[in-house]
Structure 1
Amino acid sequence: MKLASYTKDGTPGFGIVTEGGILPLDGRLDGIATLQELIEKDALGKAQAVTGDALLDPADVTYAIPVDRPEKIWCIGVNYGNRNAEYKDGSDLPKYPSLFVRSRQSFVGHDAPLERPRVSEQLDYEGEIALVIGKGGRDIPRETALDHIFGLTICNEGTVRDWLRHGKFNVTQGKNFDRSGAIGPWIVTADELDPGAELSLQTRVNGEVRQKDTTANLMFPFDFLISYLSTFATLSPGDIIVTGTPTGAGVRFDPPIWLKPGDVVEVEVPGIGTLSNGVADQETGHA
């Protein structure tokens, strides 16, 4: 099942994405007003029982990130094996994953523009697969870790490269510019797409393939990430884990190729879909 969050005529909603359109769920499930609440209340079965033919045209909605208020958004760095070699520092493969957190405000939904900030021209793309936690927990064994995944979605983990170097030991600044990344277009539930299967990912900029890899090359697979993170932090329903990007980001070209207004970035994962976003300069006057 594909589940999306959106607004229509300024009103938030969520629903099931079908070939014919979107079947709204808001107002049809007692006590559940958002997709995040559906996940928190373990109510997928109730959603699967909803039927109807009053479908919304996807062209009439504005997609939001699927989980509207995730408690935590974990991001994993340098997780594809050939990315470690990409740094050309002669280092051994890491024993533990690199990670950082991002704010909800640093992401937009499908079809919304990524924002190039006023203070930098070095906006870059990073196509990634993201996990949405369904069943929370602490000290989750790796053997049962995949059972804690509600579903999978796609992330463009947009990065402002020069701001990554502002701090000596962190990359937080360059990873948290408002509206610099995207998540969506929807969540595919784990009963439809097996998180343990090999998944492929491709990132295109203006139609040109820049990134292409499969999860077979992950140094830290999904089950390891869930077990590792839950060792020190309780995972909560709706938490998002962004699992790493392949080689081929704009910073690795010579000279680097930064995103600019008018560009279109597409991240495609067969079985999920395609997350697409244009690029625009930062607007002024945001509240």
Structure 2
Amino acid sequence: MRDARFASFLADGARHYGAVTDAGMIALSPQFPQWPTLQAAIADGGLPLLAEAARGAAVSHADFTYDIPLPDARRIICVGVNFPDRNAEYKDGSAQPKYMSLFPRFASGFTGHNTPLIRPPENHTLDYEGEVAVVIGTSGRRIAASDAYDHIAALTLCNEGTIRDWVRHAKFNVTQGKNWDRSGAMGPWLVPFTDAAQIDDAHLVTRVNGEVRQDDHLRNMVFPIREQIAYISTFMTLQPGDIIVTGTPTGAGARFDPPRYLVPGDVVEVEVSGIGTLRNGVEDEA
């Protein structure tokens, strides 16, 4: 199952999920009516059965549009300021915080692979943040850090797009700057989590128009993913299909002088070996 890739996609006017191959998509949702979505399959521990069904199956769709992997995701929790140099980027003289910063995002704020990020007319400070996202597969409360990986079903990539000016509208939250419709992206697909090295050895690179802007390893996180799962599950029961977006390295556009925000025509790529490359253009809202 290590090489399996599962995605949600749109084709023939309907939403499907399936397995991704180099030749196209193998639709699996018709074979598993008990799981109308990938999230339902994850909740039932069904990824191994999906991988078995895809083995040797014929491609059903060569023409399709990627959706975000879990379009019905109920809870998306993001971790902020989670690499050592990120705290220094704020230039406010503060020490690295003792506890991680968290904020919610909603599925409506994301678009799929190879579909455009949308820059709204109200503000043009659209920025990129390349990150790894983990999908919870087994529920748990007060999960020990040593057991945290046992609760992960899959990994995916996220461009946690942000309207920077709008994160400054209030003193204690960034929610409104983080949830503009289709301002971020997630995907292209889910890769089943089978080995700690998929996280511990992960190398994340973000490019804008081919130029490397972010380049770091997940092992450098201030709050590693094991600790994220332990901390978040202290105050809420993590459930199958919950997504944790784990933090971005230094190098976002807002941190340049002058800032280098995204404009229509830009192409952003977030790449992690073993997971894939999430690619999105940029367009103004119609």
TM-score by length of 1: 0.95
Task: Confirm or deny that 1:42 pairs with 2:49.
Answer: no
Q: 2:239, 2:198 → 1: CA distance?
A: 18
Which string of whole-angstrom CA distances, capped at 9 and with x for unpartnered residues, describes residues 101-157 of structure 1?
011100011011101011001000011110111111111111111111111100000
Residues 263-272 or 38-47, more deviating: 38-47
Quick one: which of 236, 240, 250 aligns to 1:237?
A: 240
Show the counterpart of 1:127. 130
How far residue 174 of structure 1 moved from its aligned partner, in angstroms, is: 0.5
1:182 corresponds to which letter in structure 2?
A
Provide runs of 4+ in structure 1 moved above 6 Å.
Answer: none
Show the counterpart of 2:29. 26
Q: 1:192, 1:15 → 2: CA distance?
A: 22
Q: 2:61, 2:216 → 1: CA distance?
A: 33
Task: Confirm or deny that 1:53 pairs with 2:57.
Answer: yes
Task: Confirm or deny that 1:109 pairs with 2:104.
Answer: no
1:206 corresponds to which letter in structure 2?
N
Extract unaligned runs of 5+ from structure 1: none
Partner secondary structure for residue 27 of structure 1: helix
Change (3 A) 1:278 1:193: farther
Q: 1:30, 1:281 → 2: CA distance?
A: 38
Extract unaligned runs of 5+ from structure 2: none
Paired residues, number: 282
Aligned pairs (5 A) from 1:60-79: 60-79=63-82
Contact 1:193 1:271 in 2 (8 A): no
Q: 1:116, 1:20 → 2: CA distance?
A: 32
Contact 1:138 1:233 in 2 (8 A): yes
How far residue 195 of structure 1 moved from its aligned partner, in angstroms, is: 4.3
Contact 2:26 2:61 in 1 (8 A): no
Which string of whole-angstrom CA distances, capped at 9 and with x for unpartnered residues, describes residues 238-266 of structure 1?
11100111111111111111111111111
1:54 corresponds to which letter in structure 2?
A
How far residue 49 of structure 1 moved from its aligned partner, in angstroms, is: 2.1
Name the % identity. 55
Show the counterpart of 2:88. 85
Q: 1:48, 1:112 → 2: CA distance?
A: 26
Partner secondary structure for residue 213 of structure 1: strand
Show the counterpart of 1:100. 103
Q: 1:249, 1:45 → 2: CA distance?
A: 37
Q: 2:9, 2:172 → 1: CA distance?
A: 37
Q: 1:14, 1:192 → 2: CA distance?
A: 24
Q: 1:277, 1:196 → 2: CA distance?
A: 23
Show the counterpart of 1:17. 20
Contact 1:202 1:268 in 2 (8 A): yes
Contact 1:5 1:66 in 2 (8 A): yes
Q: 2:195, 2:21 → 1: CA distance?
A: 13
Contact 1:29 1:46 in 2 (8 A): no
Quick one: which of 181, 189, 208 aligns to 1:186?
A: 189
How far residue 18 of structure 1 moved from its aligned partner, in angstroms, is: 2.6
Q: 2:31, 2:247 → 1: CA distance?
A: 36
Residues 252-261 or 189-198, more deviating: 189-198
Contact 1:146 1:196 in 2 (8 A): no
Task: Confirm or deny that 1:280 pairs with 2:280.
Answer: no
Q: 1:32, 1:155 → 2: CA distance?
A: 24
Q: 1:202, 1:280 → 2: CA distance?
A: 22
RMSD of the alignment, in Å?
Answer: 1.4
2:40 corresponds to which letter in structure 1?
E
Show the counterpart of 1:249. 252
2:28 corresponds to which letter in structure 1?
L
